[in-house]
Amino acid sequence: EKRIYDLGEGGMHLVHLLGGKGAGLAEMRRMGLPVPAGFTITTAECTRYLKHGRLDEGLVNEVREAMGRLEAATGKSFGRGPRPLLVSVRSGAPVSMPGMMDTVLNVGLNEETMEAMVALTGDRRFALDSMRRLMQMFGTTVLGIPKEEFDRATLRVARNNGPGSADMMDLDTLDGLVREFGEVYRNHGLEFPQDPYRQLFMSIEAVFRSWNSDRARAYREINGIDDGMGTAVNVVEMVFGNMGEDSATGVVFTRDPNTGEKRLSGEYLVNAQGEDVVAGIRTPENVYGMERRMPGAFRDLVEACDRLERHYRDMMDIEFTVERGRLYLLQTRVGKRAPRAHLRITLDMLKEGLISVEEAVMRVEPEHIEGIMHPRVEDGQDGSVICSGLAASPGVATGEIVFSSDRAIELSKQGRRLILVRPETTADDVRGMAASAGFLTQKGGMTSHAAVVARAMGKPAVVGAEEIEVDHIGGVLRARGLTLREGDVVTVDGTTGRAYIGEVRVTEVAERDDIDEFLRVCDSVSRLQVWANANTPEEVALAKRNGAKGIGLARTERMFLGNDRIGVVRAMIMSRDSEERRSYLDRLLPMQVSDFTEFFRTMEGMPVIIRLLDPPLHEFLPEKEEILERLSGPADGESAAELKKMLETVRDLEEFNPMLGFRGCRLGIIHREIYEMQVRAIARAALRVRSEGIEPNVEIMVPLVGHENEMKELREIIMKTFSSEDPEGRIRYKIGTMIEVPRACLVADRIAEFADFFSFGTNDLTQMTFGYSRDDAEGKFIRQYIERGILRHDPFTSIDLDGVGRLMKIGVELGRKTKRDLEIGICGEHGGDPESIEFCHTIGLDYVSASPRRIPVARLAAARAAI
């Protein structure tokens, strides 16, 4: 088996062996793009190394041979002049883990080759600068010397020799720094190795080991990445961005990762080396600045970006270096981006013909759609602004300030919502970021760690808010005269880049053109329709705006709860006989007529399923305790007699197990006058809308049927009542049933004799199949069940395929055995859950019905299910 691939030998198809970076470099070299020469040691070698704890003989020999080939290819020699070969040793896993593992640059530099570099370039400053970088990276990464010791040494030398950071130091100072760094090594009883191969092999080992660093493990855990994969190691000829004013290093995205706009977005630093951009030591400049400063390199960069996009058919993230005016590409990968940008890019690439409709649909995940529907801070709250920084990752999050990742992890376990506030974040903060709702940093640019990770997590972030002062040790945030501490509440708006004190008012997104356009693309491939659960005219209107093709469930009981109605409803319930009850129902009738009229009007001929009353009647009355309390001091206009009557009724209706009690069609059969009133209202509303010129699409649904005889009896009642309102039969309507009692699934063939449609009520069906009370189980034991692995997920969120799903399948098969074209949908909460939607597609349902806000996600899920 091959242990080492020279760059250009492999390609993306070997990503599992070469890692993302190695495969990308190989691919770019094969495309003829300017990539330095080098080779990649496979991930399999990492696994082997981690198992044995040392590099084996065979690999050591092969690395030496590969170095020989590299010397030949570059015309340079490793560890010798006159043209010394220096290499970078960089990690690269098959799955992108940005910044999680280690890198060492300038390997091969020692006292001898440094002098050769001086002779070669005539630039002692550059050679010294490269040397101090190697000593620092090697010391921290390979030998584990704390980074602070090098920082302190730098400060010491700088202070003794005038102002400035390392890149502003004069020759003598740099020289002193290299000597000082040697001291740092000696303080640890170590020596910086002069033997270039020792440097190389130790660096390779360090990169292998970094696969198992705490931060890398944490990142994998959070992102569900396999621990067994291992990292590849890329050994690549160094090119130098720190060779003076015509050299630079930078990072560029081929499109804007925040908006998706088709223009380059990136940053670069003149006279710098790779790690400077990420470390945020100097503020990088906009990549378009290169156009003027180094036009040739810029032109090549633009062309490379274009070619890479066409090749990968995606937005790319590219690292580059310019050495004395010449461009080199050092890495490429598919770029991380905000959800809004992702949608824009996907739509644009579809239009540009780069991707197909199916690819476009499969590239967008439900989380992207949810991410875009993020709220924004309402205007007019400028008074609460505490700072303004870079809008690094869109969305709004409110939470308590926390200054360290450890605290964030601890407090999040108590269910607190947190905003992680840091001077800047590093790879060590990933766990803490996962535990927080949003981020605010004082330093860093759009490609800083905090920004990249936030976008990947889809969480709001404001970075580089230079005006604040974060003292994370003391636990203080100073901003515009305020002193804030842990626990103080702030809001970050990553869409505008502002942070606010306390909670602020937010609004839904106004701009939705992209979503609408994309969802129309989705609809063009899906078979499953998306309908809506809606109970008020406002919800129906929202459902329609979000693209619902029908109303799958209107819960009429919700219409009984309005202030103007609940009194009548209660009086109706407390009636002593059916005559009295009818008189109250007569008062409810016109109210229901107006509700239904609105529904039919808004939906303009699309199906509207109205469900007859379902819950047990006591739900409309106050709690017993409340009535007792009111009895002790009745409010104005409230008579003790009335209250006593109410108490009596409540006691009458009391049930041990109301969810399995006197509700649904049971209630409709025993108190048929209630259903009769509702059917009458439906008929009148339909006739009214018809007279206005809209042909309503009426479906009447009976809840909680378990026995075909229930359906048989109610069908007769409904038909009789309807024709008393519409004797000429002008309105065509369907009568159907919910399937939400397990028995109904098992006798669905018989029920279908009396039903024109089925709608799975998976809330009740789950409750009754598991025997878990839907109102109690969640808080009491389901969470623990999931933690212990007894349940894989919450069955009230995602359909339990083995049990509930199996019953549904039986229900569909039996139902369609009786009526081949039986219309079947689902209206339980699961109708908005992507995994459940996929299942509904598989078993051949006609539609899913979801709450109005879930409709966009459901439309996407329906399309993905069809591909």
Residues annotated catalytic, as ranges: 449, 827
290: Cβ contacts below 8 Å, ≥ 6 apart: 248, 250, 268, 297, 298, 301, 322
Q: Which residues pair with 607 in a beta bridge?
A: 697
CB nearer to ligand PEP: pick between 386 and 610: 610
One residue of 74, 426, 763, 797 binding ligand PEP per CB under 6 A: 763
Q: How far apart are CA 141 and CA 74, in angstroms?
A: 27
CB nearer to ligand PEP: pick between 553 and 807: 553
CB nearer to ligand PEP: pick between 761 and 805: 761
Quote the Cα angle for 231-236-241, to 5°. Answer: 115
How many CB atoms sit inside 10 A of residue 82's CB?
10
Which three-class secondary structure state does DSSP give residue 705?
Answer: coil
Write the DSSP symbol of residue 739: E
77: Cβ contacts below 8 Å, ≥ 6 apart: 71, 83, 84, 85
Which window, 105-113, 430-438, 572-580, 759-767, contacts ligand PEP (CB under 6 A)?
Answer: 759-767
Partner that binds at residue 91, options ligand PEP, Mg ion, none, CB closer than 5 to 8 Å by kind: none
CB of 842 to Mg ion, least distance (A): 23
Task: Report how many residues bind Mg ion under the rule CB under 5 A.
Answer: 3
Which window, 175-183, 758-766, 816-824, 842-850, contacts Mg ion (CB under 5 A)?
Answer: 758-766
Which window, 253-261, 406-414, 468-476, 738-746, contacts Mg ion (CB under 5 A)?
Answer: 738-746
Cis preceding linkage at 537, omega within 30:
no
Q: How far apart are CA 126 and CA 745, in angstroms?
A: 78
CB of 655 to ligand PEP, least distance (A): 16
CB nearer to ligand PEP: pick between 454 and 553: 553
CB of 589 to ligand PEP, least distance (A): 22
One residue of 676, 764, 823, 829 binding Mg ion per CB under 5 A: 764
CB nearer to ligand PEP: pick between 81 and 615: 615
829: contact with Mg ion by CB under 5 A: no
H/E/C letters for each residue in 649-665?
HHHHHCCCCHHHCCCCH
DSSP string, 534-602: --SHHHHHHHHHTT-SSEEEEEGGGGGGSHHHHHHHHHHHT-SSHHHHHHHHHHHHHHHHHHHHHHHHH
Partner that binds at residue 762, options ligand PEP, Mg ion, none, CB closer than 5 to 8 Å by kind: ligand PEP
Q: 218: closest CA among 444, 417, 425, 511?
A: 425
Which three-class secondary structure state does DSSP give residue 820?
Answer: coil
CB nearer to ligand PEP: pick between 109 and 741: 741
Query: Within 57-116, which residues bind ligand PEP (CB under 6 A)?
Result: none
470: Cβ contacts below 8 Å, ≥ 6 apart: 403, 421, 422, 423, 441, 442, 476, 477
What is the x/- site pattern for ligand PEP, positions 764-783, by CB under 6 A? Answer: x-------------------
Q: Which H or E run contains 633?
A: none
Q: How far apart are CA 609 and CA 845, in angstroms?
A: 16
828: contact with ligand PEP by CB under 6 A: yes
How many CB atoms sit inside 10 A of residue 378's CB?
10
Query: Within 526-555, which residues bind ligand PEP (CB under 6 A)?
Result: 553, 555
CB of 494 to ligand PEP, least distance (A): 36
CB of 406 to ligand PEP, least distance (A): 42
840: contact with ligand PEP by CB under 6 A: no
Distance of alpha carbon 507 from its chain centroid, rounded? 20
761: contact with Mg ion by CB under 5 A: yes
DSSP string, 458-469: T--EEE--TTSE
Query: Within 607-626, which residues bind ligand PEP (CB under 6 A)?
Result: 614
CB nearer to ligand PEP: pick between 5 and 531: 531
CB nearer to Mg ion: pick between 18 and 613: 613
Partner that binds at residue 752, options Mg ion, ligand PEP, none, CB closer than 5 to 8 Å by kind: none
Which window, 30-38, 56-64, 393-401, 762-770, contacts ligand PEP (CB under 6 A)?
Answer: 762-770
First to last CA, the chain: 37
Q: How far apart are CA 827 and CA 535, in angstroms?
A: 13
Task: Report how many residues bind ligand PEP under the rule CB under 6 A.
Answer: 10
Rounded (10°) angle between helices 672-691 and 578-603 = 30
Which window, 20-28, 130-138, 619-627, 760-768, contacts ligand PEP (CB under 6 A)?
Answer: 760-768
In angstroms, the Cα distances linking 49 to 39, 44, 590 are 18, 9, 79
Which window, 278-286, 453-461, 501-509, 757-765, contacts ligand PEP (CB under 6 A)?
Answer: 757-765
DSSP string, 747-766: THHHHGGG-SEEEE-HHHHH
Partner that binds at residue 555, options Mg ion, ligand PEP, none, CB closer than 5 to 8 Å by kind: ligand PEP
Q: 533: closest CA among 506, 513, 553, 555?
A: 553
Partner that binds at residue 827, options ligand PEP, Mg ion, none, CB closer than 5 to 8 Å by kind: ligand PEP
In angstroms, the Cα distances linking 465 to 267, 328, 382, 570, 743 are 18, 32, 16, 57, 61
In angstroms, the Cα distances linking 271 to 28, 207, 276, 282, 291 are 25, 26, 10, 11, 16
Partner that binds at residue 71, options ligand PEP, Mg ion, none, CB closer than 5 to 8 Å by kind: none
Partner that binds at residue 300, options Mg ion, ligand PEP, none, CB closer than 5 to 8 Å by kind: none
One residue of 256, 276, 740, 833 binding ligand PEP per CB under 6 A: 740
735: contact with ligand PEP by CB under 6 A: no
Which window, 173-181, 315-323, 561-569, 761-769, contacts Mg ion (CB under 5 A)?
Answer: 761-769
Which residues in this chain contact Mg ion in the complex, by CB under 5 A? 740, 761, 764
Which residues in this chain contact ligand PEP in the complex, by CB under 6 A? 553, 555, 614, 740, 761-764, 827-828
